[in-house]
């Protein structure tokens, strides 16, 4: 097994707020332009400049300690082959009253660079990308390019697995990663990254980052045929066998040679005859779809947690026979009407904007990731809440006023097809 080029990404989502757009009071003033500004993207071009313009003179611009300033990130236009921010851009509706709901982001003006050392030799180059979404989420990417050295050769499928293992940000592996922070394990490097994010965004306190769900992506060119690559990966020790597979004809439109998807990772592989730059360009487009799905999954998880919390509070009120409270006192009432329903519906509309080849990849990744199950759980939680509301209605509390809104949940929580 000869691998000519190999790229690995590890991606995860951090939530700054409990639910989208519920801005915390301890956000630093410099970040108000992102998290509290409903016209954040319209203002971004004038105030921030586009990506790469790190010499913006305004000292009040948001930045991450020891990592750099933030700029508008225009990479979201990639999936519709559009280089402009308008109604044709994936994840963007320029008619929104609250532009923060657009699936657009801010990013480090320059990616954070690292080098991986093993037995005294540089074996890989790494970069950390941070994408800040005004709804209150940060998507973290670690991108690793394996270097052609004698320090870490890949001769077997097990060697490939070991390399992927060394890119897991939650582990302290054999490699030492050199960056402007110093020389540390990958796990310690990311602990510092998260600490600097917390120090930069919050005016006081510390950002509580739970155990993150990382998703791996691998792109490679090899001397094996697509069929043999699939067989080699699936037979390698330690790889789970529950794959969803999609192969596409090779053409000049950026369609992958093949994709294998497991629950926690996906592989994109192509003929060694393909140009490395072409491989990388296609791979990052797939990664952007993966980012959207990870983001959407996290949004659903946070909404589900809020609904369960609100239901528990309502149950406690009922157990204590506190029936005489007004509609305005219902926990999270404005959140459901003003944010939850319009935003979940909008995320589905963005999915429909994908051109066919990327929509097929989205469906593939979504199916392997069990996203429909998450949607079903959210729908079930709302339906259970409706039953709770029906119980309250028997007490004459006036809760029936929000039933009509909640009934609409089935219209936009159906699995995307």
Q: Are residues 278 and 214 in the same domain?
A: yes
Q: Which of 261, 287, 313 is the last residue of a domain?
A: 287
Let me know whether 202 and 183 are in one domain.
yes
- Is 124 a domain residue? yes
Q: Is 417 contained in some domain? A: no
Domain membership of residue 273 as a residue range: 3-287
Residue 304 lies in a domain: yes
Instruction: Give the CA radius of gyration of the chain.
Output: 23
Same domain, 30 and 146: yes
Based on the fold, state whether residues 61 and 199 are members of the same structural domain: yes
Q: Note whether 134 and 171 are same-domain residues.
A: yes
Residues 314 and 275 in one domain: no
Q: Strand 244-247 vs strand 215-222: parallel, antiparallel, or unpaired?
A: unpaired
Q: Are residues 294 and 159 in the same domain?
A: no
Chunked into runs of 10 residues, the chain (417 residues) has average pLDDT values of: 80 94 89 91 66 48 90 64 53 88 91 92 93 96 78 68 87 92 95 95 87 86 66 53 39 50 66 68 86 94 91 82 65 74 88 84 82 86 81 68 57 48
Residues 6 or more apart in contact with residue 245 via CB below 8 angstroms: 230, 258, 259, 260, 261
Helix axes of 371-393 and 276-319: crossing angle, nearest 10 degrees: 20
Pair 215, 265: CB distance under 8 Å: yes
Q: Are residues 85 and 206 in the same domain?
A: yes
Report the sign of the C-alpha dihedral through residues 14, 17, 20, 21, in that order. negative
| pLDDT tens digit sequence for 337-377 | 788 888 988 998 898 888 888 888 888 888 877 888 888 88
Neighbouring residues of 187: CB distance < 8 A, sequence distance ≥ 6: 169, 170, 171, 172, 173
Q: Last residue of a domain, which of 243, 265, 287?
A: 287
3-state secondary structure of 85: coil
Q: Which two tokens stand for residue 11?
A: 């991606």
Instruction: Name residues whose C-beta falls within 8 Å of residue 105's C-beta, 6 or more positions apart in sequence.
Output: 73, 76, 131, 132, 133, 134, 139
Predicted confidence at residue 273, as pLDDT, reads: 59
Count how many domains the chain has.
Answer: 2
Q: Is 263 in the same domain as 294?
A: no
pLDDT recorded at residue 84: 46
Nearest to 364 by CA among 278, 291, 289: 289
| Final residue in a domain of this structure, among 287, 315, 348 | 287
- Which ranges of 177-259 would DSSP assign to H, the alpha helix? 186-201, 226-235
Residue 295 lies in a domain: yes
State residue 206's pLDDT score: 84
Does residue 278 sit within a domain? yes
CB 161 within 8 A of CB 6: no
Token reading at 388: 């709770």
| pLDDT score recorded for residue 233 | 62
């Amino acid at each position: 097994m000869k691998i000519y080029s190999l790229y690995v990404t590890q991606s995860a989502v951090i939530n700054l707020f409990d639910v989208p757009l519920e801005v915390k009071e301890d956000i630093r003033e410099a970040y108000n332009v992102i998290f509290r500004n409903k016209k954040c993207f319209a203002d971004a071009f004038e105030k921030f400049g586009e990506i790469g313009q790190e010499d913006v003179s305004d000292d009040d611009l948001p930045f991450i300690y020891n990592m750099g300033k933030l700029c508008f990130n225009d990479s979201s236009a990639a999936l519709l082959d559009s280089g402009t921010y308008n109604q044709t851009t994936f994840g963007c509706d320029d008619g929104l009253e609250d532009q923060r709901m657009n699936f657009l982001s801010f990013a480090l003006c320059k990616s954070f660079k690292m080098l991986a050392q093993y037995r005294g030799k540089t074996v890989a180059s790494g970069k950390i990308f941070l994408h800040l979404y005004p709804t209150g989420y940060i998507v973290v990417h670690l991108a690793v390019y394996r270097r052609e050295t004698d320090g870490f050769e890949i001769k077997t499928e097990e060697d490939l697995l070991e390399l992927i293992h060394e890119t897991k940000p939650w582990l302290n592996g054999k490699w030492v990663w050199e960056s402007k922070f110093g020389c540390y394990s990958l796990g310690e490097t990311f602990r510092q990254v998260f600490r600097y994010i917390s120090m930069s965004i919050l005016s006081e306190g510390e950002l509580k980052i739970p155990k993150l769900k990382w998703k791996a992506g691998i792109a490679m060119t090899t001397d094996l045929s697509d069929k043999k690559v699939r067989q080699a990966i699936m037979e390698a020790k330690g790889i789970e066998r529950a794959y969803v597979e999609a192969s596409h004809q090779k053409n000049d439109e950026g369609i992958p040679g093949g994709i294998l998807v497991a629950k926690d990772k996906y592989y994109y592989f192509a003929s060694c005859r393909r140009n490395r730059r072409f491989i990388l360009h296609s791979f990052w487009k797939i990664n952007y779809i993966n980012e959207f799905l990870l983001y959407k999954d996290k949004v659903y998880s946070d909404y589900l947690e809020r609904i369960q919390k609100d239901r528990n509070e309502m149950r406690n009120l009922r157990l204590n026979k506190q029936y005489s409270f007004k509609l305005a006192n219902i926990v999270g009432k404005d959140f459901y009407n003003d944010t939850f329903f319009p935003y979940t519906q909008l995320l589905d509309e963005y999915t429909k904007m994908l051109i066919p080849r990327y929509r097929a990849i989205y469906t593939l990744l979504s199916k392997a990731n069990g996203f429909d199950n998450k949607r079903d759980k959210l729908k079930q939680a709302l339906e259970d809440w409706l039953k709770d509301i029906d119980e309250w209605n028997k007490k004459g509390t006036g809760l029936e006023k929000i039933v009509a809104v909640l009934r609409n949940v089935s219209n936009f929580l159906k699995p995307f097809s």
